[in-house]
Structures are given as C-alpha cells and as structure tokens.
Amino acid sequence: MQAMKNTLVVALEERSYPIHIGVGLMGLAELILPHIKQKKVVVVTNTTVAPLYLEVLRSTLKKGEISVLPVVLPDGEQFKTWETLNLIFDAMLGARCERGTTLIALGGGVIGDMGGFAAACYQRGMPFIQVPTTLLSQVDSSVGGKTAINHPLGKNMIGAFYQPKLVLADLSTLDTLPDRELKAGLAEVIKYGLIRDPDFYNWLESNIEKLLTRDKEALAYAVHRSCANKAELVAADEKESGERALLNLGHTFGHAIETGMGYGEWLHGEAVAAGTLIAAELSCQLGWLNAKDVSRIENIFVRAGLPVFGPKLGVASYLELMSHDKKVQDGKLRLVLLKEIGMAVMSEQASVAQIGAAIEARCT
C-alpha cells in the first residue's frame, strides 16, 4: 500500500519530537535517517518481532549506509526485568557503542519501555527512537518518555522519564498483530475518550467494530486522536506532577491485577479494562457516574472483547498491591476516577471501605 502519513509533535522545547503515523512508514528512509548521527545503530527487539520487521528496518537504514547491531530479547512481560535489561548493556558494551549511538526500540510496549530505560542509563543517556509495532504502543507507551522495568513487588517500579527523538508508528505492522493484542490496545484508546475527549468516546461507540476488523482509516484516526491527546498531556505535565496522571485511569487496579496474577498472565490492556470498570463502579458509588454511564462503559469494553471483571484476588491483596502505586502520597492512595464520561479527576475521596466494595462488586 502507498505510504500515507500524519505527523504530530510532542512540544517539549529543546526535547520536542515528531510522531509520524501512517501505513508503510518503516520503509521511508527520509523519516528516520535525519535523526541518526552515527553509521551504527542498536535495534532492541524481541524473538517475535525480529523475524517480522527487523529486515524491513535494516534495509531502510542501509539506504543511509547505517549498520545495525540487533539485540533480540525474549518475548513477554515476564522478561521486563533487570536480567533482560542487562542483555542490552552487555551487547552495547561488547560492540563498543558510544554515547552518540542511537538505540531504536522495535516492538510493543515491553520493548519500548525496556529499550528506553536502557537508553536513559547507557553512558548516562544515548539518543533513542521508538518504532512501536502494537496498537497499545502506538497509542500510548511510545509517546511521553516513560521507561521502566518491573519489580516483583510492582509494575514499572524502576525507570526514568526519558524522551525519544522520534516516534514512527507504522500502521502496517498491525496487520500481523494477534487479535488478543489488538483488543488490549483498544483499552488504552477507549481511555482517552473516557478521561478527556467525549467526542472521541462517541466516535469509538460508533466505530469499535471497524477497529476490530482493522479498517486502516479507522485505525489511523484512532491512533492519531489518541496520540494527540497524549501529546497534549505530556507537553503540559511531562513528569506527572498533575494532569498527566489522568492517563492512569484503571491502572492502579490494573497494575495490581498484573502483579497479583503474575506478569504476562493478564495483558496490560486487559488489566486496564477490568481496572477501568472498578474505577467506574467507585465513581458511581461516589455519586459521580450513574448506573447508566457504568453500563455504557461496560458495553464498549465488552464490544471490544475486553474483560469487565477483575480476578478474585481478594480485597486485602488488591489493597496491598495498590499500596505500591506511584501516585501514593504520604501513604495515601490517590485514584483516577470519572466525574462523567469524558472527564476524569484525581481523587483521595474514596474511603478504603468504598474501594473494597467496588473491588468486591467488580471482581469475580
């Protein structure tokens, strides 16, 4: 298919960068070569993505006479660890990569988060490019500079804010994405509508089936609108001292599900979907959403093929896991809740009893 492209900018002054979104972009040397300063790059990817896209990227880089040091990691959330991170450092040190060498993360959010963290740490910071290949990474994780690995006690607990120089979201890569992963990505797309973009939420209610059948125009619109929302929030609050935290709707519960079930059991997007319904339930208990709104939210997640109930870990386990959340301040849990569809707020208002009741109601 003919390459088509839309570009957004994450406006962070001297650290601003473009997000290119379109079909066939990985083949366009003019998009990527201007961001690379040396004749060698490191491409961090995994055993699933490498056979699909490493050669495409390599042949594009070859047009600029740039050679590739591939670092092919094991695939899975359970490998988002120190041990795997060290494999990147071992390869880069072994190949004498320099501070000016560019690291390209080619893959989903796990590769993007780990590659970005490696780039942030290696010789105190090397240039870094995101080439996201899942829907979730194209609409969320590749944008905004959050990089991390997991710890047994909590998701994404060890990391850094470190912005890429470029995000290249090639929609062609979504052709090979398994259905379950596509659906998981939709959880983060729906999130933008819920937290701050009611018109987009309405559009999603009318177009969710088109996204599920991978209609390219619908996907291009959804990725663009999601990234536009994210770019605005990141530009306003890069290090999450305020409104960026709204992007965490459903995540405090979701991260508890991912950690409690064992990394990789529930996909991130699936855990966020169930977590969003717990947050909606709690918002209803607080008198903000009505029961009709909660059903409306449940309905869109069901249509997207996502879970709307969390696993029964027990309220005490949820609360213990949630106590590690990065939004905890002075020991007090803060949650992203919904005032209405299209308007999220950060709140300390819910009591432990109310949180427990929402978990009970929404976990089977």
Q: Which residues bind ligand GLY (CB under 6 A)?
A: 140, 144, 146, 240, 244, 247-248
- Using CA atoms, how far residue 167 sits from 25, 112, 137, 185, in Å, is 11, 10, 10, 17
- Using CA atoms, how far residue 150 sits from 59, 131, 180, 229, in Å, is 33, 21, 22, 26
* Catalytic-residue membership of 334: no
Catalytic residue among 155, 196, 224, 251: 251
244 binds, among ligand NAD, ligand GLY, none (CB under 5 to 8 A by kind): ligand GLY
What are residue 169's DSSP bridge partners? 21
If one asks whether residue 156 binds ligand NAD (CB under 6 A), the answer comes out as yes
* Catalytic-residue membership of 20: no
- Using CA atoms, how far residue 296 sits from 94, 261, 267, 360, in Å, is 54, 27, 23, 20
Catalytic residue among 46, 225, 248, 281: 248
* Catalytic-residue membership of 251: yes
The window from 1-9, 130-138, 205-213, 307-315 that contacts ligand NAD (CB under 6 A) reads 130-138
Tokens linked to 167: 């995000």
Tokens linked to 146: 């959050």
Q: Report which DSSP code applies to 248.
A: G
If one asks whether residue 246 binds ligand NAD (CB under 6 A), the answer comes out as no
Contact 201, 190 (CB under 8 A): yes
CB of 89 to ligand NAD, least distance (A): 19
CB of 345 to ligand GLY, least distance (A): 16
Q: Return the closest-CA partner of residue 131 out of 31, 51, 14.
A: 31
If one asks whether residue 290 binds ligand NAD (CB under 6 A), the answer comes out as no
Nearer Cβ to ligand GLY, position 61 or 225? 225
Catalytic residue among 146, 155, 225, 326: 146
Catalytic residue among 20, 183, 225, 268: 268
If one asks whether residue 163 binds ligand NAD (CB under 6 A), the answer comes out as no
* Catalytic-residue membership of 62: no
Buried-state track 94-127, b at ≥16 Cβ within 10 A, e below 16:
eeebeeebbbbbbbbbbbbbbbbbbbbbbeeebb
Which member of 81, 101, 102, 134 binds ligand NAD (CB under 6 A)? 134
Catalytic residue among 255, 326, 334, 362: 255
First CA to last CA distance, the chain: 45
Give catalytic residues, as residue numbers: 124, 146, 188, 230, 240, 244, 248, 251, 255, 268
